[in-house]
């Protein structure tokens, strides 16, 4: 399906607004990853062949997705080792989708699949239930999950190498392996470490339910059961992704999941590090009218 009028307008006006913002700030130089050849070292004139050029192109494409990469040498090694690899991101089906989740994610997924990746979207319906989203109504959670999938399909995401995996089905189908792995992760992870990850749910440490204590342990387990080579989530999910890398160190797993954390698209109001679903004027939503998009962008605090 074609991109809706609101989505097209949102993208055009955001690009114009960002250009103005960059010009006002005096220009921003983006960090460029270093060139690498097939051995992982800087290429020299006349020695780079087709294979090393392809490796460099894939590396740059993936690296452009992430504000942070843990680590670049591991990403280079993965590309040398695998022509095709798995990336994952998970989302709780809850509320409306804003452009950071919609357009921005579609752009990043297309880069990842162009670089040779299989992108696994984890539709975290059980996690939404644990986090008390949609009033704990599982039917509403699943309906919202389908809404997310359809929005991505309609806004330009290339679906050939994208897989949608529902958490409830996946965990039931792999129950023995899943819960065994979760128990092993629990065995080597302190309660203090688990509580530090509570921000991935948008929760504070002092008021967690028992289900929300399990949440980071299960999210960490997902990384291994989904066979994810790269965790391609937002910076707000960094803590649990680092927990997965720490677990590898604890049990001697050689190839740690690489973390490629994308930037969080800032909210439209003062002091908002990211767009918020709970505040309609802090974000541009995928189904906003053209009038709403224009009003929100015009009134955005960071352009005043």
What is the Cα 155 distance to its own chain's centre? Answer: 17
CA distance 16 to 208: 42
In whole angstroms, give the CA distance from residue 293 to residue 6.
Answer: 7
DSSP state letter for 285: B
CA distances from 35 to 44, 193, 232, 233 (A): 10, 36, 22, 24
Tokens 């919609």 belong to which residue? 102
What distance in Å separates the CA atoms of residue 131 and residue 287, rounded to the nearest whole number?
Answer: 25
Write out the two tokens for 87.
Answer: 């990336």
Where does residue 27 fall: left (phi above 0), alpha (psi -120 to 50 degrees), or beta otherwise?
Answer: left
CB 95 within 8 A of CB 144: yes
Local structure of 146: helix, strand or coil: helix
Percent of the chain topping pLDDT 70: 80
CA angle 237, 106, 68 (to 5 degrees): 35
CB 56 within 8 A of CB 35: yes
| pLDDT tens-place string over residues 108-132 | 999 999 999 999 999 999 999 988 8
In sequence order, which residues have a C-beta less than 8 Å from that of residue 163 and are 6 or more positions away?
Answer: 118, 119, 120, 121
Q: How confident is the model at residue 96 (pLDDT cuts 50, 70, 90)?
A: confident
- At residue 227, the pLDDT reads 97
- C-alpha–C-alpha distance, residues 181 and 129, integer Å: 21
Q: Which DSSP state fits 255?
A: S
Identify the residue with better confidence: 218 or 197.
218
Cα 12 to its chain centre, rounded Å, is 23
Phi-psi region of 70 (alpha: psi -120 to 50; beta: other; left: phi over 0): beta
pLDDT tens column, 4-38: 555 555 555 555 554 554 455 444 344 444 444 43
Token output for 8? 């097209």
């Amino acid at each position: 399906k074609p991109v809706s009028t609101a989505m097209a307008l949102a993208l055009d006006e955001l690009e114009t607004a960002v250009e103005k913002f960059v010009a006002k700030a005096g220009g921003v130089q983006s960090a460029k990853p270093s060139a690498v050849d097939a051995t992982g070292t800087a290429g020299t004139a006349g020695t780079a062949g087709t294979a090393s050029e392809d490796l460099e192109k894939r590396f740059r494409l993936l690296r452009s997705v992430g504000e942070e990469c843990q680590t670049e040498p591991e990403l280079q090694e993965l590309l040398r080792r695998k022509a095709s690899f798995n990336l994952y991101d998970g989302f709780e089906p809850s509320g409306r989708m804003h452009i950071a989740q919609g357009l921005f994610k579609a752009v990043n997924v297309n880069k990842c699949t162009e670089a040779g990746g299989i992108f696994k979207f984890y539709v975290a319906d059980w996690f939404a239930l644990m986090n008390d989203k949609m009033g704990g109504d599982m039917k509403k959670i699943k309906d919202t999950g389908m809404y997310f999938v359809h929005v991505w399909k309609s806004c330009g995401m290339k679906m050939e190498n994208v897989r949608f995996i529902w958490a409830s089905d996946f965990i039931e189908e792999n129950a023995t392996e899943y819960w065994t792995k979760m128990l092993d992760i629990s065995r080597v992870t302190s309660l203090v470490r688990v509580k530090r990850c509570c921000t991935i749910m948008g929760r504070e440490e002092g008021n967690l339910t028992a289900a929300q204590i399990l949440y980071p342990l299960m999210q960490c387990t997902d990384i291994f059961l989904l066979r994810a080579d790269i965790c391609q989530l937002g910076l707000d999910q960094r803590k649990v992704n680092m927990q997965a890398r720490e677990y590898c160190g604890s049990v001697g797993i050689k190839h740690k999941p690489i973390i490629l954390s994308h930037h969080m698209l800032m909210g439209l109001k003062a002091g908002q590090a990211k767009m918020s679903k709970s505040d309609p004027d802090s974000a541009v939503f995928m189904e906003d009218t053209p009038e709403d998009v224009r009003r929100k962008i015009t009134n955005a605090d960071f352009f005043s």
